Structure 1
Amino acid sequence: MNNNKKPLHKQDLNFVFEKKNYIVMGIGLAVIALGFILMAGGGSDDPNVFNPEIYNWRRIRLAPALVLFGFAIEVYAILLNPRK
């Protein structure tokens, strides 16, 4: 059997995305994580006691909007052409 394998050089590696794409993806992931962190909490320690803090503006409006905005950033990062 003949294994004609060339050693890998930096020029031989082809990535799907470039550095700019990965940076924008990281920003998008950070925005999504922030949205989920803001959504957390507001529960009650006692299941028989209702805590109206669960319907806070931050948990109902801001956090889901941040998550959707983060997903929009991810789509933009995938479609971004850094060569332009």
Structure 2
Amino acid sequence: MNNPQFAFTKKNYILMLIGIGIITLGFIIIGMDSAPHGFGFLGLTLGPIITLAGFIFEFYAIFYRSEKK
């Protein structure tokens, strides 16, 4: 019988958790903006950039492939 291999390794899951943390940090920064309706620097610039970086990191974590077979 064949030995089934899982799609993700332990390192993939660790990287995915880090990506979720980065995304969460971005949303927290957006919420910390003291300007009305979030129209300040944190809500319009810094928070979305960090959130986008988190999503990009998630793609990296999903597509990461270890050299070990």
The TM-score with structure 2 as length reference comes to: 0.78
Q: Which residue number corresponds to residue 19 of structure 1? A: 10
Q: Percent identity?
A: 39
What residue number does 2:43 align with?
Answer: 59
CA–CA separation in structure 2 for the residues paired with 1:14 and 1:35? 34
Over 6 Å off, 4+ runs? none
Number of equivalenced pairs = 66
Equivalent residue number for residue 78 of structure 1: 62
Name which one, 1 or 2, has greater alpha-carbon Rg. 1
Unaligned runs of 5+ in 1: 1-11, 44-50
Amino acid at match of 1:40: G
- Where in structure 2 are there 5+ consecutive unaligned residues? none
Letter in structure 1 aligned against 2:28: I
Q: Distance in 2 between matches of 1:29 and 1:13?
A: 28
Residue 42 of structure 1 and its aligned partner are, at CA, apart by: 4.8
- Given residue 38 of structure 1, which amino acid in structure 2 is its aligned partner? I
